[in-house]
Amino acid sequence: MPAANQPVLDYLASRLSHPAKVMQAPVPSEAELAAILSTALRTPDHGKLEPWRLVLIDRAAMVRLADLAEARARELGADAEKIDKGRGQFDRGTLAVAVIASPKPSGKIPAAEQFLSAGALCMNILHTATAAGWGANWLTGWVSHDAPFAARAFGCTEGETVAGIIHIGTPAAAMPDRPRPDLTRLLTRA
């Protein structure tokens, strides 16, 4: 029988996301963030294609992106709620990393698997930041799925998409656990 890594299992059994809106300073230093991201890059990347890239969003960029989200929402004729949702994660953010799914041409690795790799990287950043003692939250929202916004905000080109925006900081308060999925309802046998 293999030896369990009990501290990791305990961490995974108790990990919680902290909403981005409750994150505050301090945030990781450049060296701490580099360590988090270097560790997170040990993600399954399906053929060593590195089908993703990262965009650092510091406080100054948050201000610019909040304004850009509002401008784009107004271009779309959005209501006040959509404008607030677009601005919100940036207005209230302090530090985040956008994971851009950037599939590479490959005769062997389908684009869908490359996109899943970007999702795995998002989860690795979330886990690594949390394990390092920070609060972390993986967000998307309409700004992640709007190609013109993604192009202006993150330089996304055709074929690239925002897999996630991972906010990292100090949680303002402890989060209670939430109800979790019922395994017996979800698991079947082949």
Q: Which among 86, 93, 85, 25 is positioned nearest to 56, based on CA atoms?
A: 93
Query: Is residue 140 marked as binding?
Result: yes
Phi, psi of 103 (to 5 degrees): -60, 145
H-only helix segments in 76-131: 80-91, 111-131
First to last CA, the chain: 25
Query: Is residue 139 marked as binding?
Result: yes
Query: Is residue 130 marked as binding?
Result: no
48, 167 contact by CB (below 8 A)? no
137, 165 contact by CB (below 8 A)? no
Report the C-alpha gap between 37 and 123 in whole angstroms.
11
- Structure-block tokens of residue 125: 């950043």
183 CB-side CA count, 13 A: 0
Query: Is residue 167 marked as binding?
Result: no
Report the C-alpha gap between 87 and 83 in whole angstroms.
6
DSSP 20: G
Query: Is residue 15 marked as binding?
Result: yes
| Binding site feature residues | 15-17, 42, 46, 138-140
| Binding site feature residues for FMN | 15-17, 42, 46, 138-140
